[in-house]
A and B are shown apart, each in its own frame.
Chain A
Amino acid sequence: MSTDGVPMISVSDLNVDYGDVHAVVNVNLEIPAGEVFGLIGPNGAGKTSMMRVLAGLQEPSFGRVKISGIDLEESPRLAQAQLGYMPDFAPVDEELKVWEFLELYAAAYGIPADKRRERIDYCISLVNLDIKSDALCKGLSRGMKQRITLAKTLLHDPPLLILDEPASGLDPKARMDLRDIFRGLAARGKTVLISSHILTELSAFCTSIGVMEQGHLRVSGKLQDVIDELAPKKQLTIELLRHSDDVDEILSDNGVSDITRDSNDSMKLHCTFDNDRDWIASLLVTLVQKGVPICGIYERQFDVEDIFMQLGVEEVS
């Protein structure tokens, strides 16, 4: 029920304290509808506290949260109907079968009895667990349990999904499966707020990001805007076939600065430049003409990991 122009999530002046520990400090954030927002930060940065507040499961020390324009404090039930929340270690009811577990929540969300089975089957198929529908939850792998929880989160078809470290503890295959499911959900127009401290997990499909550290939201915005903001100079990587004495001089003459050699591979040079991609093509021609044994040249794309490094955020896995 997203209204045009109204952000799906609006957070102002949010603070969460645990005694003398300030888990979330003065966070202001707006996430438009349809966005896939990655909240990144090291362990203990305040991501889970913030997400629990957004899901209405925890009262903030102060601050205001609106979900799709509905004040979470004033109308919690109405606001919560707009969202699906999946915690990091999402529990399933071990003694129930998969469809029984989902039916419990389908009924709790008020889905009419005659439409329940159809909705459950749809959600099970969304997470690719059709064949396990009749299995007891306790016999499933961790990845499958995560997917069941995701199916539960989707039962009432919320426009907003809040996913707290959904892939934590999963093996690479399960993580990739889950990532594909998230991609599919984003393509269906869901607004997704996803947190993780595994950066590659997010950079693949987030449209915007926020970086949290020690309770502060250090930076947030569209992924490319954040990258542009934090990476004022573009980076170029040049790979040589063998050692060349002249390469540094030739590069300097062509306007390349900050030339460094890769610490792991001395045949790889990193440098910064201010020009466009045409210039890279002409630089390649120059290098070849001057006999530099070049085997690769490419502009290095800034990613989420670089943003972390740029911000000096520590303890990133």
Chain B
Amino acid sequence: MPLLPWHNPLVIAGVRRRLRPKAAVTVAVITAVISFFVYGIVYLVATEREITSSVIAARWAFTPIYYMQLFFLLFLGTGAIASGVAENRLEGHMDYQRMTPMSPADKTIGYLLGLSIREHFMFAVTLPFALYAVVAGEMPFLEVLEMYLFLFLTVTLYHLTGFVAGLLAKNPRRAGMTARFIIIVLYFVLPGIGKLGGASLFGHFTADTALQTLLGPELAMASPQSEMFFGIPVPLLLITLCVQSMFIFVLFTATTRKWRNERLHAISKPMATLLFGTLLVLIVGSLWSQVGHEIAFLDMETEGENSAVAASTIMVFSMFFLFSFGMCAFLCMSTTPDKANAIKGARRAARNNKRLHFTSDEASSQWLVVFYAMFTGIALIGLFEIGSESFSSSAVGAESLLLPWFIFASVLAWWQGLRELLEPRLFWLSIGVLWVVPIMASIVVVAAWDSVEAASYLSLTTGFPATAISLTQTFADAFSLDPSEVEELQLPSTFVVYLSAFINGALALAVSVTLWRRRQS
């Protein structure tokens, strides 16, 4: 049975450390002054100058107070947790805690609340202002309560992200910065990119969905209630609940593993597999309704409806490849042993006269690449078949996606292989040389000389241009686009696609053979 927060020694220590009377009074005064200023500038100005009624003015005042609360809890709280965890870990306090009989869950909860206790206190100070806005604004109390429950779900997700960032970072400062960077990516960047490709799934990492869904009409915001998932309307809040709960579960498992042994991977291979499967289903479900339709968000200026649908479809498939690769690469890198651990595992197995279990941290993750590639391929076929209903030409089949899929699988395979073969520093150097630098160089070439062809050759090893070219050609054929429209795109020749497939395939094969030979020796 987990400890109640007020009995958790780590929470009590957090209160003593960060909320001694002097500090508490200072923080309370500053927060109250800021809250009053925000509230006053909206509510008092609106009512005293008779811009609107007091009810509407109170509702207006609720939104900035809410975002202030979000800022305290999400931005400041997550940063405090990440840097606090990193500091505790590097100084050795976590080793002390690791040896105590408290359960990993209690330790995690203790750290989460203890390290962000001041930010929770700041949140508490703003509550009277929010409460006044709710009462004066005649807002539905139950909906507000539900919205706050969702807010705390999101806060838990982000705080756990900060905790894991703190466990992995090399210094407290970097941990805090990484955590805040993750917040920006998850809260703003990813939902934005997702919208671009029609994958609204990524909008569920934020607390905004709950605010808009539950209090949209009161706060004069758009208030969508459901979202298409595999073509079926599903309540938005249900998706938010599922997505955030799933990530909370994954992150909580990661912290439990790290409590057991700091050197363990944050994500085990089975957990990565489960996470991959779930995310793939969510991404496909989210894109399902977008394939073969024009994405309204894009609002493309194309010559015909067909071109707009083709462009949207290309965008959807490009996004699918991008997200799938990002997800697979992240999971692969998180679960692949580096050179030292791979050798350690092999030595241990030899010593114990046992084969290394394929799910152990030190075992190769090549099978994961095969699994990821296989299921990505199945998802691709599924999406293609759905889209094919709106194709103008029936001559284009799913086999036309074989080449981009092969490039995707090859790049993933050589990334994984290098990770296992090389020391971490050398691995990242290789990724820099073979992947990051070519992408940057090709961006420069396109920006400076408009030479898409040269850029494509420059970044053969990345697989990106080849995939984009292949997808564009496939869907241009599928939607029977006018040759002049295709010509306007100035696509490089298909030779680039074949060359990229060959190079990445050769790299994957070479790395795999080297790995196999090392295992034999």
Do they bind each other? Answer: yes
CB–CB A104/B340 < 8 A: no
- Chain A residues whose CB sits within 8 angstroms of the CB of B355 once the complex forms: none
| A217 to B: closest C-beta gap in Å | 18
Q: Which of A222-267 contact B (CB under 8 A)?
A: none
Interface string of A52-92 (1 = CB under 8 A from B): 00011111011000000000000011001101010101110
B447 within 8 A of A: no
Which residue from A80, A91, A104 sits with its C-beta under 8 Å from B9? A104
Q: Which of B260-294 contact A (CB under 8 A)?
A: 260-263
Once A59-B263, A93-B17, A95-B17 are accepted as A-B contacts, the answer to whether A19 and B343 lie under 8 Å apart by CB is yes
B348 interface neighbour in A61, A89, A103, Cβ under 8 Å: A61
A87 touches B92 (CB 8 A): yes
Specify the chain B residue showing the minimal Cβ separation from A110: B101
For A97, give the chain B residue with the smallest CB separation.
B16
Residues of chain B within 8 A (CB-CB) of A80 are 99, 101
Residue A109 contacts which of B18, B100, B260, B343 (CB distance < 8 angstroms)?
B100
User: Which residues of A are found within 8 Å of B343, using beta-carbon distances?
Assistant: 17, 19-20
Inter-chain CA distance A15–B344, complex, in Å, is 10
Chain B: minimal CB distance from A147 (Å)? 16
Looking at chain A, what size class is its interface with the partner chain?
35 or more
Minimum Cβ distance to chain B for residue A273 (Å): 48
| B340 to A, closest residue via Cβ | A19
Q: Which residues of B contact A56 (CB under 8 A)?
A: 98-99
**Neighbouring A residues of B348 by C-beta, 8 Å:** 61-62
Q: How far is the CA of A58 from the CA of B10 in the complex (A)?
A: 23
Report if A96 contacts B (CB, 8 A).
yes
Are A105 and B96 in touch, CB under 8 angstroms?
A: yes
B window 334-361: CB within 8 A of A: 339-340, 343-344, 347-348, 351-352
For the complex formed, measure the closest distance between the CB of B276 and the CB atoms of chain A, giving whole angstroms: 26
Q: How many whole Å from A305's CB to the nearest CB in chain B?
A: 30
Q: Is the CB of A87 within 8 A of B101?
A: no
- Whole-angstrom distance between the alpha carbons of A100 and B423 in the complex? 43
* Any B CB within 8 A of the CB of A197: no
Known contacts being A80-B99, A109-B101, A110-B101, is A91 close to B347, with CB within 8 Å? no
Contact A62 B100 (CB under 8 A): no
Find the B residue at minimum CB distance from A78.
Answer: B101
A107, B101: Cβ atoms closer than 8 Å: no
Whether A108 sits at the interface, judged by CB under 8 Å, is: yes
Nearest-neighbor residue (CB-CB) of A87 within chain B? B92
A77 cross-chain contacts in B, Cβ below 8 A: 101
A59 vs B264: C-alpha distance when bound (angstroms): 9
- Give A80's nearest chain B residue, CB to CB: B99
In the assembled complex, the CB of A306 is this many whole angstroms from the nearest CB of chain B, namely 35
Partner of B98, one of A19, A57, A152: A57
Q: How far is the CA of A38 from the CA of B352 in the complex (A)?
A: 30
A222 to B339, CA, bound (A): 41
- Are B263 and A107 neighbours in the complex by a CB distance under 8 Å? no
Q: Is B241 an interface residue (CB 8 A)?
A: no
For A57, the chain B residues whose CB sits under 8 A away are 95, 98-99, 262
List the A residue with the shortest CB-CB distance to B23: A95
Q: Is B13's CB under 8 angstroms from A91's CB? A: no
Contact A17 B9 (CB under 8 A): no
Q: Pick the contact of B13: A76, A100, A110 (CB < 8 A).
A: A100
Contact of B93 with A by CB under 8 A: yes
Task: Produce 1/0 per residue, A12-44, CB < 8 A to B.
Answer: 000101111000000000000000000000000
> Which of A55, A59, A90: most chain B Cβ within 10 A?
A59
Give, as a whole number of angstroms, the nearest-CB distance from B162 to chain A: 20
B binding-site residues for A, Cβ under 8 Å: 9-10, 12-13, 16-18, 91-93, 95-102, 260-263, 339-340, 343-344, 347-348, 351-352, 423
Q: List 9 A–B pairs whose Cβ atoms lie within 8 Å, in order of A's numbering.
A: A19-B423, A61-B347, A62-B347, A62-B348, A81-B101, A87-B92, A87-B95, A89-B92, A96-B16
Residues of chain A having any CB pair with chain B under 8 Å:
15, 17-20, 55-59, 61-62, 76-77, 80-81, 83, 85, 87, 89-91, 93, 95-97, 100, 103-105, 107-110, 152
Q: Beyond A19-B340, A19-B343, A55-B99: 8 further Cβ-contacts under 8 Å?
A: A15-B351, A19-B339, A61-B344, A77-B101, A107-B9, A108-B10, A108-B100, A152-B96
